[in-house]
Amino acid sequence: MGKHILVIGSLNMDLSITMERMPAVGETVMGEELTYNLGGKGANQAYAVGRLGGQVKMLGCVGRDQFGAGQRESLAACGVDVSGLRESEALPTGTAVIYVDAAGSNSIVVVAGANQACDTQYLKENDHLFQWCDYVLMQMEIPMSAIAYAAGRARALGKTVILNPAPAPDLIPAELLSCVDYLTPNETELMKLSGVTGDGMEAVRQGAKALMEQGLGCVVVTLGEEGALLADGDGFRTYPARKAEAVDTTAAGDCFNGAFVVALAEGMSEDEAIRFANAASSMAVTKKGAQSSIPSREELEQILGGAKARQSAGGGR
């Protein structure tokens, strides 16, 4: 049986607009479709953990509105314990507006709303969940002070801390980085945080090295269709992505993070966990939406089983 996972983060209602191409500054383009989907990086990652079989509880804040009620229902339905969620009377559930072009690429604007109420005092009131868990997974759509407190408290209790630095701030305080076991940026976030410029794998390696020099033990960089890179004290290792036709990349990184922590909690090695997460993420991009795109454990096992069969026959990588 896997270990316990605590996800701390944001819960949003996503308004997704599809279009042929992104508008330039000052330009108006016609959208093709508007959909409402439950999202937020914290909720998406908790949902992924639940869908993929992890033992998970979530801390975060919603408004006293239909979007907040929808989040509770959706997360609970996939096995996430939401009894610790906070409900704000003054603030509405967070909102994200997502623009998706014909290639499946996206741009996102987030209004925090009730996510601002996920503060240090609230986390202190739920200290029993820090004691209960083995892994803490966080992102950066809640106050930095709360993230720093949670990482420090988890480290003090000997828990494993995974921080997905999305959206990436201009700077992550050194005292926070010192409490993180795995930092999981995408390529854009890596470059912003490291200050490295350029593109290609050499720039990615330089960026990961720069972050590790700030005291991190391990950096896992998600690279979209290029897969992922792991940087640790032993150097760099790359992991090719499973080929997939991207329809919407909205929750690909969230799915990766949720799958990664599930795999670690089940005792997989880092190599196995990244391959597991790569496979899950490759499935998420083939469907529209955020939580609605995340595969179940059964669906993922079918893909992984097929890949193993092809490798045995000499057809895999």
- Which residues are annotated as part of the binding site for substrate? 12-14, 40-44, 141, 254
Give kind and range of the element (H or E) at residue 160: strand 160-163
* Catalytic-role residue among 170, 199, 232, 254: 254
Helix (H, G, I), strand (E, B) or coil at 35: strand
Is 254 labeled as catalytic in the residue annotation?
yes
E strands in 172-278? 182-183, 219-222, 228-232, 235-239
Binding residues for K(+): 248, 250, 284, 287, 289, 293
Peptide bond into 167 cis (omega under 30): yes
Residues 17, 34: Cα–Cα separation, whole Å: 5
Map residue 63 onto helix, strand or coil. strand
173-211 CB burial, b ≥16 within 10 A, e <16: eeebbebbbbbbbbbebbbbbbebeeeeeebbbbbbebb
- CA 282/CA 100 separation, integer angstroms: 17
DSSP 186: B
Answer for the pair 59, 30: CB distance below 8 angstroms, yes or no.
no
Q: Which two tokens stand for residue 68?
A: 């907040």
CA–CA gap between residue 24 and residue 70 (Å, rounded): 34
Rounded Cα distance, 103 and 31, in Å = 14
Number of helices (H), then strands (E), belonging to the chain: the values are 11, 15
Active-site residues, by number, are 254
